Structure formats: C-alpha cells, structure tokens
Amino acid sequence: MIQEHGLKDFRAAKTKAGERLGLEDSGALPSNEEVAAAMSERNRIFRGDEHDVLIRELRNAALRMMRELHQFDAKLVGPVLAGSASDWSSIDLHAFSDSAEAVGAVLDGLGLANRPWVHRLRTRRDTADLYPGYRFSDGEFDFTVTVFPERGRGNAPLSTIDGRPERRATTKDVEALVAGDPST
C-alpha cells in the first residue's frame, strides 16, 4: 500500500490492508518497524539495482536543494535518507529559521512554485506540535520542507516508525551517502 499506492501514513496503510484481508483485530497487524523492514526487503528483492538508482537520484536532488537552502541549515530526513523511498516518495527536508516566510521567500526567489502547509509532528511521546513548511516540485522531484525554530536544531521530532528521534542528515552526510552505498 505504501509503496504501490503512495500512502504515507503507516496507520492508514495498515488499516486499509487489514480491511482488505478481513482482519478486525488491529493487534494482528505488523508494527511500523516490521512494515519498514518489509518494504526494504521488497525493494532489495524485486527492484534491486533499479531501486539503488532511484535512491541515488533522490539523494542527489536532495543535495542540490539542501545547498540552495544552506542558510537554513537544511537536513535530509525520511525515506530518502533511510534508503526506503519509493517512486511516490517526496524528498523531506528540515530547515531552521525563526521566520518560515524567509524559507518561502528563498523558494520564490529560486522560481519554485510552492504551497504552504502545516506538519503535525510528535516531539514527545504524548505531545504533537504543528510546524510550518512548504511543498513544491523541482523538475521531476517533489519536496517538503518543514521549518523548525532556530532553537529546535537539536530537538528532532519522533520517528513514525520507531518512536525515537528522527535521524537528520547534513549536506556532508548526504554527500557521503551518494559517494558510497545508496542503501546505507
């Protein structure tokens, strides 16, 4: 569901799959970690080198945009960083500014038509906060940029997969990934 239909919400995808399979007990559904592991295994088995090429292209596009947004210390997060992205995946970036509009102004200056959005992220197990951001496309790639306050650099939101702080990669980190194994 997630890879074939572009669903991004693990819970929605598992619920839909459970309904299709006639499962009424949500306890019978796999954990988000099990789903993520299965997606990676599926990519390895069925897409192989083709998936490696996709990840490399997505990471290179992420690098280009991170360099354009360097004044906001842009970081790569999500499936492109993890190497589990699909054809439906957007390139997800975190940027840091006390003015979300400043990020939008840079996107406008780059000639990138963008739509403001608000992203709800868990920052603690029992707390979710709203963060401004932008959605846009650059060539064949879709992007989301979520803007965090300057003081939020060290406080990554919790991962929807394992509940731990989400991994964020710097430009240098992504350069190393592109130079090395694309599934790293």
pTM for the whole structure: 0.79
- Average pLDDT on 51-72 reads 96
User: Reduced to 3 states, what is the DSSP secondary structure of residue 22?
Assistant: coil
pLDDT for position 152: 82
Residues 6 or more apart whose Cβ sits within 8 Å of residue 26: 14, 15, 18
pLDDT for position 37: 63
Q: Is 171 exposed, middle or buried (0-12, 13-18, 19+ CB in 10 A)?
A: middle
The CA distance from 143 to 137, in Å, is 6
CB neighbour burial string for 125-158, b if at least 16 within 10 angstroms, e if fewer: eeeeeebbbbebebeebebbbbbbeeebeeebbb
Tell me the CATH number for domain 31-179.
3.30.460
Please give the residue that has the higher pLDDT: either 29 or 72.
72
pLDDT at residue 78 is higher than 60? yes
- Average pLDDT on 18-46 reads 66
- Average pLDDT on 43-48 reads 64
pLDDT for position 1: 47
pLDDT at residue 154 is higher than 80? yes
User: Reduced to 3 states, what is the DSSP secondary structure of residue 66?
Assistant: helix
Span of 8-17, 34-43, 144-153 with lowest mean pLDDT = 8-17
Q: What is the CB neighbour count within 10 angstroms for residue 64?
A: 14
pLDDT at residue 184 is higher than 50? no
Which residue from 113, 151, 150, 145 is spatially nearest to 132, judged by alpha carbons?
Answer: 145
- Average pLDDT on 84-96 reads 92
State which amino acid sits at residue 164.
R
Q: Which pair of tokens denotes residue 129?
A: 């906060």
- Average pLDDT on 116-129 reads 90
pLDDT for position 100: 97
Helix (H) or strand (E) holding 93: strand 91-96
pLDDT for position 46: 62
